[in-house]
Every structure is written in C-alpha cells, then in structure tokens.
C-alpha cells in the first residue's frame, strides 16, 4: 500500500475522464518519445513508442488512483495475459498487484456513515483511521469488536461497484485504441465473466458467505488460521472480521529449507482440496492473501471475495488431465483438455502438439514421486517460449475457458510463490490420493 491518499473518482463521467486523461497522456508520451528518437536518427516502432517508462508510469499511476474494476482488470491481465499480451505490458500491469492508494478521510467518513450512521465513531471501538492495507476494491482498518477482541474492517471504495461495467469497457477500449492490446486478440468472451466476478468481489455479503464456507471446511484444521465473520459489522460495502495475526508469507524465506518446503506443500495441498473436494477455490493469486505465523507455523488465509465454484464435470476433466500427464498419455491429455473446454484442433497438427507441449511443461511437477525443485525450475522460461510460438497460430488460438483461466491464474500464483521460497515439494505424493480414488 502506498502511504499517499488519493480521492476515488466516483461517477461514471469522472472515471471516464480519468481514462480519457490516461489516453491523452499515453498519446502525448508517444509523440514526445517519437520526436526524441527522430532527433537521434532512430525510427522506432509504434510498440517501442507505446511501451516507454513514462507511459508505464502513467498507466499504473492512473489505474492505482482509479482503483476498482480498472485496477482489478489490470491485475487480471498481468496474470492471465502472458501468452498474448506484450511481455512489457504484462510486466507494467504486474506492478498493480502491490497495492493501491488509500482514500482520504472525507470519503472514508462517507462510506462508514452510509453503513453505520453519522455517529459511526461511537459504534466502532478503537477504530484506526489509517488503513494498514489497501487493494483494488477496498482498504482494511484495525479496531476492536464488541467483546473487545482485535478485529478488522474492510471498507469498500465509493463508486467502484457501480462502475464495474464502464470501467472494464473503457479500459479495454483504451488498450485497443492505443495498441497496447493487440488487435487480433478477441477477449470479449472473457469480459462478461470478468465483470460478473468483479461484481461478486464487490458484494461483501457474498464474500461473507464464502468466508463462512471455508471456515466450515477448514476451521478444524489447526494448520490454518481463518478470520471469523462479525455479522454486526458487515454490510454489502463493509465487512467486519476477527483479526488474524501473522506476517507476510514471504517471511517463510527466513526459515530453514524444511519449513519452506512444509509451508509450500501445505498451500499446494490446500489448492487440491479446494479444487477436487470442495469445488470452491479462492482464485486470487496475490501473495497478500496468505500470512505466516512465525510462532506457530500456521498459515493464515485472507480475502475470499475472488472465490469461485466449479462444476463437477470441470474438476473431473482437470483431474483426468493430471492423471494422463502422470501416465504420459498424450491422447488422454488431449481428450481431458477438450473436456475442460480447450479447443485443440485436429490430432497431429502442429498447434495441438504445441498445446500438449505446454501442458507437459506446466504439469511437470506432478510427474515424479519425488520433491520438485521450484527454485531451479525451467517451467516459466519454456512456457513463455511455447506461448510465443502459439501466437503464430492466430486462426486456431482462443482465449482459454474462463474456469480454466481462473485455475491457471491460481496455479501461476502458487508457482511464483514456490519459486520465491525456493521450495522443494513432492507434488505427485500430494496428488496421489485423488488419482487413486
């Protein structure tokens, strides 16, 4: 979270104005860079003019100021767009994952007054006005619950729920017009799903139900710490929960190899339970959704707004895909991928071979019944190379099925964390109970 506060633009016109200002700034930056390059005797491409450090700062600063769906879509594209966005743009958008501006005191007062009345300060004990976390949809404050326990209050930015559709449409239009989003990429099929997911994330009553579902499923597992909902402090735009102690998950880096391996094994096992037992997955890959309790070794789970339910046929297809990969069954992998919703084209074609090669590499950790060394894995490099080659098959290439996109987003986040921790995990052993069931 940045220490600076910025007012959240509320109305559609003001939010559109921010997008228009961003478009003007990007265009102006291109003109200035073009003139500078011309004076130096260079003839840069439009892509080089677009993806300058100045335009990168404009894009990330403006989306961070807007927050809401505009910022969230930027985060999603940075995670899911590696195979079709310019790598430079994906890297620019990745900076949006680190946090947002906090809203100023007058807007905070407005939101809490609408939820609890103008005397809200008398109702919220020991409320800390300065948030200790801020993200794309809301910010989080410390306080005390009615019985004196440490608690947190997640407060949604004003106007973000009402501007989801226009934010997404305006941002995609900007990326199209500016050339930052390649014209040949058709993302309309995924946009409505993204909008629906964002509407769910902006509904704190809905997130409350997801939180309660995870508490029922995992509350007795003492390896995890989960907050408990405080119904009296929860509305559609404000969510009260008990405080869960812990440090950033990256604190595990200070632990011995054995502990790093254990924590990462726990998170991968949790994902398998979510996908194959609960069919309810917290799909947001942000590291901030995990905390680590140094004293107990427990992992705290936070922020369930991006949770998603999956149909049994989809999870069965994904399990079949994993089983076929373990067995080295390429035709079985192709059949399972089609069941999940991928379009692979005709058997034996270069495109289908590329897609299966892609699944081969990203599922490599499940194959051997031995610890997989994520810290020295070539997966990211090889997957990027295959993704680059897929771009030459535009007549065949399609946006992945939306359910698969959310699952791969979560898997990518787990892979990045495992790499960061240098973890060694026997993924095959963790998966085996489901393969044998």
Which one of 167, 284, 303, 320 is the catalytic residue?
284
Q: Which of 310, 319, 269, 323 is nearest to 401 (CA)?
A: 310
Pairing type for strands 238-242 and 307-309 reads unpaired
| DSSP 8-state code for residue 375 | G
Q: Following CA atoms 21, 22, 26, 29 in sequence, which dihedral angle do they give, to the nearest 10 degrees? A: 60
| DSSP 8-state code for residue 277 | I
Distance CA 351, CA 336 (A): 17
Residue 202, SS3?
coil
Alpha helices in 9-52, H assignment, sequence order? 12-39, 46-50
Q: How far is CA 148 from the centre of its chain?
A: 34
Distances from the Cα of 416 to the Cα of 249, 250, 287, 369, 412, angstroms: 12, 11, 9, 21, 6
- Catalytic residue status for 80: no
Contact, 235 vs 204, CB < 8 A?
A: yes
Spell 281-301 as b/e; 16+ CB within 10 A means b: bbbbbbebbbbbeeeeebbbb
| DSSP 8-state code for residue 293 | -
Q: Is 138 left (phi over 0), alpha (psi -120 to 50) or beta?
A: beta
Other C-beta atoms within 10 Å of 352: how many?
A: 20
Supply the residues annotated as catalytic: 284
């Amino acid at each position: 979270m940045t220490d600076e506060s910025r007012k959240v633009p509320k109305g559609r016109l003001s939010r559109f104005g921010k997008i228009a200002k961003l478009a003007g700034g990007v265009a102006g930056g291109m003109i200035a860079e073009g003139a500078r390059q011309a004076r130096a005797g260079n003839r840069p491409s439009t892509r080089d003019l677009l993806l300058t450090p100045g335009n990168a700062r404009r894009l990330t600063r403006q989306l961070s100021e807007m927050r809401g769906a505009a910022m969230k879509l930027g985060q999603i594209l940075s995670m899911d767009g590696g195979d079709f966005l310019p790598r430079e743009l994906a890297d620019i958008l990745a900076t949006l994952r680190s946090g947002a501006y906090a809203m100023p005191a007058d807007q905070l007062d407005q939101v809490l007054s609408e939820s609890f009345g103008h005397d809200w300060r008398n109702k919220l004990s020991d409320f800390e006005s300065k948030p200790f976390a801020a993200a794309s949809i809301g910010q989080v404050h410390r306080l005390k619950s009615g019985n004196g326990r440490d608690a947190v209050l997640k407060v949604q930015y004003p106007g973000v729920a009402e501007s989801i559709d226009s934010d997404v449409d305006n941002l995609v239009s900007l990326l199209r017009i500016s050339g930052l989003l390649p014209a040949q990429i058709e993302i309309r099929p995924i946009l409505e799903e993204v909008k629906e997911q964002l509407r769910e994330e902006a509904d704190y009553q809905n997130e409350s139900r997801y939180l309660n579902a995870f508490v029922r499923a995992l509350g007795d597992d003492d390896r995890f710490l989960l907050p408990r909902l405080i119904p009296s402090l929860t509305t559609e735009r404000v969510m009260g929960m008990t405080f869960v102690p812990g440090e950033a998950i990256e604190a595990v880096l200070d632990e011995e190899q054995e502990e790093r391996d254990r924590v990462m094994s726990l998170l991968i096992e949790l994902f398998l339970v979510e996908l194959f037992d609960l069919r309810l997955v917290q799909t947001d890959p942000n590291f901030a959704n995990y905390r680590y309790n140094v004293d107990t070794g427990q992992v705290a789970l936070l922020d369930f707004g991006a949770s998603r339910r999956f149909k049994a046929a989809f999870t069965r297809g994904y399990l079949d895909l994993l089983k076929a990969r373990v067995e080295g069954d390429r035709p079985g992998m192709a059949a399972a991928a089609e069941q999940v919703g991928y379009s692979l084209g005709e058997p034996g074609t270069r495109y289908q071979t590329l897609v299966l090669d892609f699944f081969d590499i990203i599922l490599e950790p499940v194959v051997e019944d031995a610890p997989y060394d994520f810290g020295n894995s070539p997966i990211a490099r090889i997957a990027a190379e295959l993704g680059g080659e897929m771009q030459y098959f535009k007549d065949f290439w399609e946006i992945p099925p939306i359910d698969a996109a959310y699952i791969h987003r979560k898997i990518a986040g787990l892979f990045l964390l495992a790499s960061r921790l240098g973890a060694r995990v026997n993924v095959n052993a963790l998966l085996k109970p489901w393969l044998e069931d």
